Amino acid sequence: MEKFKNYINGQWVDAKSGKTFQNINPANHDDIIGEFALSEQADVDEAVKAAKEAFKKWKLVPAPKRGELIKKAGDIFVRRKKELARIMTREMGKPTFETEGDVQEAIDTAYYAASETRRLFGYNAPSEMYEKVNLSFRVPVGVCGIITAWNFPVAVPSWKILPAIAAGNTVVYKPSKESPHSGVIFAEIMEEAGIPAGVFNLLTGKGSMGNMLVEHPDIDLIGFTGSTEIGLKIGEICGRTNKKCSLEMGGKNAQIVLDDANLELALEGVLWGAFGTTGQRCTATSRLILHKGIYDEFLDKLKVRAESLKLGDGLKEDTQVGPVIHDNSLENIDRYVKIAIKEGGRLICGGERATEGDLVKGSFYKPTVIADVLPSHTIFKEEIFGPVLAVIKAESFEHAIELQNNCDYGLSSSIYTKNINNAFKAIRDIEAGITYINAPTIGAEAHMPFGGIKGTGNGHREGGWTVFDIFTEWKTVYIDFSDKLQRAQIDNY
């Protein structure tokens, strides 16, 4: 069995304890991908020490020079795209046409972040005093602890790691225990790109090791993607220890379809939004809000299309929907479906584990649609993270917006309509960080802000230029060349 190591201070090393854990293919539980270092406190301490020491020199490297290395990383991602996509699919399940897109997101982010190193602009403003200049600069924060989920094991880390390093920070990265192999390849690419020793460090391990990062006194910033439950705990710790933190958490995203919409387009959108990545995206379409005028017609079409989706190993070319990440997740999904039916939801299709042929070897759940859902139902309110779609009837456009906003989360949203007035009202009134018009709730682009409100996040936005608000601090400089004492914030009038 292949064994994989941590990457600390430019060296590939075992966990100090010698302990390991196994990574298993969710499409075939007999396929053990390898053994990975099970990091503990001593490993965290070593990686953080290396990152802290490396920060002293890395922050002094001119930003465009840092950008050149990030650009090289992007070039290597291009070269290893198909290889890395297959590694991702094997360890987390989604089909290769999706994992190739995952790597492309990292490529786009690398090139964008590299170019932004020439645009880390400050703001200059006139002074209220004679012979005085006011300047401001972006400066790096320090050592960043990055913790990410398994569903986008290359794209999401790239959103955090590449801008953090481009801005002059150093990084200690913990990938999910469900997708550590992708993290190892990420480290290989950073090493080959020439990122100096200690600037990027990789630690594989389980959840408790992430807590060691969050609690570590020499970590200056935490960048987290994962569940709202864990994110809120991280926020509490960072508040107590005065750490900067960026939290990208859960979602319960809705697609609205009005009676004037292109129904075929809306159908394609909800199939992709609800069942792409087997519904395991924070932006997945979890709720479908249908206008009463097209409710029954749309449900009939949705049933036929959802039942025709091809489940299978994501490494096979004809697979449309892969497995869920593991049996614990599958059992949780099934529990939510049973609750939904008990509370009055009507099962349209799916609702059970898929065990036909080779599917019995993996964690496969049939694409599931539950109709006649009400706002009081559990399935309307709670994130499931699986291929389950709750369908709700709306009496009007206004009612649809009300249903959309009746949610503890606010990440992504979607509306299908040909009425431009209603489209702009939706843009104004929907409570979410992202809104799509005539497109599904998934499909973020690397150069645009990404994030949400309510239970989804803590106000920061990844992606685009806004990610540098997370990974830099502002430094204000006043230069007085009057050769005399001038007193600001004193009544000089």
Give the catalytic positions in this structure: 248, 282
Strands 125-126 and 132-140, by their bridges, are: antiparallel
CB 107 within 8 A of CB 20: no
Residue 14 to residue 11: CA distance in whole angstroms: 10
Identity (one letter) of the amino acid at 98? E
Residue 321 to residue 303: CA distance in whole angstroms: 16
Query: Which residues have CB under 8 Å from 350's CB, separation 6+?
Result: 306, 307, 337, 365, 366, 367, 368, 369, 387, 388
State the virtual CA torsion across 187, 167, 70, 15 in degrees, nearest 10. Answer: -10
Residue 230 to residue 235: CA distance in whole angstroms: 9
Query: Which residues have CB under 8 Å from 104's CB, separation 6+?
Result: 81
Residue 310 to residue 123: CA distance in whole angstroms: 53
Residue among 476, 485, 458, 486 nearest 225 (CA): 458
CB 172 within 8 A of CB 251: no
Triad 410, 416, 420: Cα angle to 5°: 100
